Chains A and B, each alone.
Chain A
Amino acid sequence: MLGEIGLVALILALLVSVLQAALPLAGAQRGVAPWMAVARPAAYAQLALVGFAFIVLTHAFVTQDFSLLYVAENSNSLLPLMYRYTAVWGAHEGSLLLWALILAVWTAAVARFSRSLPDTVIARVLGVMGLVSAGFLAFLIFTSNPFLRLLPAAAEGRDLNPLLQDPGMIIHPPMLYLGYVGFSVPFAFAIAALLDGKIDARWLRWTRPWTNVAWAFLTLGIALGSWWAYYELGWGGWWFWDPVENASFMPWLAGAALLHSQAVTEKRGSFRGWTLLLAIATFSLSLLGTFLVRSGVLTSVHAFAADPARGLFILIFLGIVVGGSLLLYALKAPSSADAGKPFELFSRETLLLANNLLLSTACAMVLLGTLYPLLADALELGKISVGPPYFALMFVLLMAPLVLLLPFGPITRWQSEQVSKPLAMLLPWAGFAIALAVVAYFMAPQGPVKVAAGVLGAAWVLFGTARFVWTRVRSQTTGQRFTAEMLGMTLAHFGVAIFLVGALLTEGLTTQREVAVAKGHAVELGGYSFRFDGAAHSQGPNYEADRGTVTVFRDGKPFTVMHPEKRAYASGGQVMTEAAIARGVTRDLYVALGEPLGDGAWALRVHIKPFVRWIWAGALLMMLGGFVTATDKRFRRVAEARNPLPATEPTPEPAR
């Protein structure tokens, strides 16, 4: 019975979302205030309805209601309680419901925190978000109903995919979706601005924290996914350029470009059209990501079922969103007459333009590599795959200039700057970074080029950003404050430096061996000795395991004991490798069991991964940067900005 009520709630939510889209949009166009006033209550009602449906599904999982097909397929009576909650979004239907719920949360948040915006603007923004929501709810109800009954009820469920029975997986999808869906706010704003025919810097200021928060969540989601792949897949890799990873990485790159171009448009009025286009592109890529991952055109851990009807639905939806937005843009793009304040060839605007060009080119490159196999398949050119070396090479080529230019951005003035000034500030630090890189080159036991490049890039970004902080802090006495926005930017840029250390040093210095070891024998690697003490049988809640014991020695002294596992899950008989990891700031020891080779011997995979944790630490710093930036008081001054500023108050952003 509850399941049917859940479905009814979803249908009601769909009706409400149609209402939320139609009335306010029409009202804003015609200037009918009561129609526009529908937007906010509709947003809250939608949150209540979708939230209720989500609770119903969660309840079904917790109480093991195997009369629901979705629950029967993704749960099992042996499944630990914690994973029953997360199994809700363990497969297609539930994860779409989570998508819809998060969209409803964002919409309600927009409704709540938009008191300072003009009524027509907020009516349009909420209307567009209602449209998106209607699309997703229709998709959910017509092709992916999570409340489908299974009659007669199954006696036992098929169990959650063992790969997903992991703490990292609990928060990875929600964080990713918070990011994806969060980009619907700048998207809705862009559409509203196009409908309105003018883009107002004050409204743009209001959207900036939303973009930053969405991007921060997406950063966290991607970092969690990478971290999970590292310890759960048993291969010790942290990024595979897998189509599904690319699907989340494309909106991240576009979002990073959007953050920077929004800053230019808000502060200087330049790049208006470009910012709108990027906002549309970022959200479209989020939808494309959902399409790629959910439609089954890609075979991967994330593609749950290949149902052509679903793929077609999302493709049509994507076509409407992208095509409609671009058409609207073509018809009503801001005229070049209000192109913002002019700027010279060397200025912060130019640097941010370079940033945007590089990030969006990188995004296009990833898009091409990801879609090329699909295109080739559709055009009957054969079944092909694009290898990671393509992505790695292109990405490094595009990101190298970005890293080089990064420290210049913050210390270069808006509008016009003499090249010599930032150069003079940064040259000593460039020299220092190069000196460190040379030392690293000769000290590295292997992969000297990657190590040197990592040290060079990281030191350059770190020192360059620190130089900016020092300049700002010193000039505080003259009345210039160090704002939350600057702090956020600094943190994110430091994050880039930490990430560079992690990514390049891990790639350069990782050592690994795959060997067959008999009990009592040892594997030597990088100054450590890994002694295999055999594997014993052990019993988990819903799996059986071979639990290996590996004693690690360093310089002949016992260092640590590690327990890699090979698990066989009770239902479905899937086998999973649980790697054992000895964590460290400067290196991880990583041991995974391969397969039994008879006579107590096992295949063993041993890695030493220097600085691998810095990869995620860097991502976390970038995330923190996004959140801190969003707290800047300036973004909350939209209301006051509608009236002329009092003469005594300093202008929000003094030109530097």
Chain B
Amino acid sequence: MNPVRRRRLLWVIALVVAAGLATALVAMALQRNIAYLYTPSEVLRGEAGEHARFRLGGMVAADSFKRAPGSLDATFRVTDGDAQMPVKYTGILPDLFREKQAVVATGRMENGVFVAETILAKHDENYLPKEVADKMGMAHKKHDVAAPGAGAAQGAK
């Protein structure tokens, strides 16, 4: 093998090794950090699995929001029109969080209650996150929840 070829071969081997390593790492990291979105009905049907971290999407049910006096412990229920799921969260809620508005909470189930680590609320008066809207599907037509509109989206990170 002449030196040019050998150098080229070394490069190719290094590249393949690096690419393989990168792929393995990426796959591993992705696997650990993916969170699926479920609606309360799906959770109740057991689709979300036990103790796994996932995202719960739906609308905050009317008259369900309560805060313990003098603390930041909040409870509310998330509904998809068919089923409801109690949610517990400690901390400051996003500006856009309100009853009868869409919410996406990330967390896990504990004793039948969804314990949220983060809460996302994205809406203006008539906006529903596309993925939540897709999930809830016909629920809007059956029940009295705000339908998705084409208004300007606004996010609270």
Residues of B within 8 A of A475 (CB): none
For A381, the closest partner residue in chain B by CB is: B36
* A397: contacting residue among B25, B93, B155, B157, CB under 8 A: B25
* A384: contacting residue among B35, B69, B129, B155, CB under 8 A: B35
Task: Assess whether B25 is in contact with A301, with CB atoms less than 8 Å apart.
Answer: no
Residues of A within 8 A of B124 (CB): 572, 574
- Bound-complex Cα distance A609 to B67 (A): 29
Task: Assess whether A394 is in contact with B25, with CB atoms less than 8 Å apart.
Answer: yes
Task: Assess whether A594 is in contact with B25, with CB atoms less than 8 Å apart.
Answer: no
- Bound-complex Cα distance A163 to B156 (A): 10
Given contacts A574-B124, A603-B72, are A390 and B131 in contact (CB under 8 A)? no
Task: Assess whether A361 is in contact with B22, with CB atoms less than 8 Å apart.
Answer: yes
B134 sits at the interface (CB 8 A): yes
Residues of B within 8 A of A384 (CB): 34-37
- Bound-complex Cα distance A307 to B130 (A): 12
- Residue interface mask B113-157, A partner, CB < 8 A = 1: 000000000101100011100110000000000000011111111
For A90, the closest partner residue in chain B by CB is: B152
Task: Assess whether A237 is in contact with B130, with CB atoms less than 8 Å apart.
Answer: no
- Bound-complex Cα distance A300 to B91 (A): 22
Residues of A within 8 A of B125 (CB): 572-573
Residues of B within 8 A of A357 (CB): 15, 18
B61-80 residues at the A interface, CB under 8 angstroms:
67, 69-72
A442 sits at the interface (CB 8 A): no
A142 sits at the interface (CB 8 A): no
A234 sits at the interface (CB 8 A): yes
Task: Assess whether A516 is in contact with B72, with CB atoms less than 8 Å apart.
Answer: yes
- Residue interface mask A536-577, B partner, CB < 8 A = 1: 000000000000000000000000000000100000111111
- Residue interface mask B73-103, A partner, CB < 8 A = 1: 0000000000000000001110110000000
- Bound-complex Cα distance A593 to B125 (A): 23
A277 sits at the interface (CB 8 A): no
- Bound-complex Cα distance A496 to B32 (A): 29
Given contacts A383-B134, A387-B34, A595-B93, are A233 and B157 in contact (CB under 8 A)? yes
CB distance from B10 to the nearest CB of A (A): 8
For A385, the closest partner residue in chain B by CB is: B35
B2 sits at the interface (CB 8 A): no
* A385: contacting residue among B15, B18, B34, B92, CB under 8 A: B34
For B31, the closest partner residue in chain A by CB is: A390
Residues of A within 8 A of B1 (CB): none
Task: Assess whether A305 is in contact with B30, with CB atoms less than 8 Å apart.
Answer: no
Residues of A within 8 A of B129 (CB): 299
* B37: contacting residue among A296, A382, A387, A572, CB under 8 A: A382
A515 sits at the interface (CB 8 A): yes
Interface residues on A, range: 35 or more
* Stretch from A35-43, A279-287, A364-372, A527-535 that touches the partner: A364-372
Report which residue of B96, B151, B154 has the largest number of chain A beta carbons within 10 angstroms of its beta carbon: B154
Task: Assess whether A597 is in contact with B70, with CB atoms less than 8 Å apart.
Answer: yes
Report which residue of B35, B36, B152 has the largest number of chain A beta carbons within 10 angstroms of its beta carbon: B152
Residues of B within 8 A of A304 (CB): 152-153
Task: Assess whether A514 is in contact with B72, with CB atoms less than 8 Å apart.
Answer: yes
For B156, the closest partner residue in chain A by CB is: A233
For B90, the closest partner residue in chain A by CB is: A514
- Bound-complex Cα distance A73 to B124 (A): 13
* B96: contacting residue among A515, A575, A594, CB under 8 A: A575
For A604, the closest partner residue in chain B by CB is: B92
- Residue interface mask B1-39, A partner, CB < 8 A = 1: 000000100100001001000100110011011111100
- Bound-complex Cα distance A237 to B157 (A): 9
Task: Assess whether A301 is in contact with B153, with CB atoms less than 8 Å apart.
Answer: yes
Given contacts A299-B130, A299-B155, A365-B26, are A382 and B36 in contact (CB under 8 A)? yes
Residues of A within 8 A of B96 (CB): 574-575
For A240, the closest partner residue in chain B by CB is: B157
- Bound-complex Cα distance A377 to B152 (A): 23
B108 sits at the interface (CB 8 A): no
Given contacts A233-B157, A383-B36, are A372 and B67 in contact (CB under 8 A)? no
Residues of A within 8 A of B157 (CB): 229, 233, 235, 237, 240, 242, 301
Query: Can you list 27 A-B pairs with a CB-CB distance of less than 8 A?
Result: A91-B152, A161-B152, A299-B129, A299-B153, A300-B155, A303-B153, A304-B152, A304-B153, A306-B130, A345-B10, A357-B18, A377-B131, A382-B36, A383-B37, A383-B57, A385-B34, A387-B33, A388-B33, A389-B33, A390-B30, A394-B29, A397-B25, A574-B96, A575-B95, A576-B95, A594-B93, A595-B93
Residues of A participating in the B interface, judged by any CB pair closer than 8 Å: 73, 91, 161, 163, 229, 233-235, 237, 240, 242, 296, 299-301, 303-307, 345, 357, 361, 365, 368-369, 372, 377, 382-390, 393-394, 397, 514-516, 518, 566, 572-577, 592, 594-595, 597-598, 601, 603, 605
6 smallest beta-carbon distances between A and B, as pairs: A594-B92, A383-B37, A390-B33, A387-B33, A301-B155, A575-B95
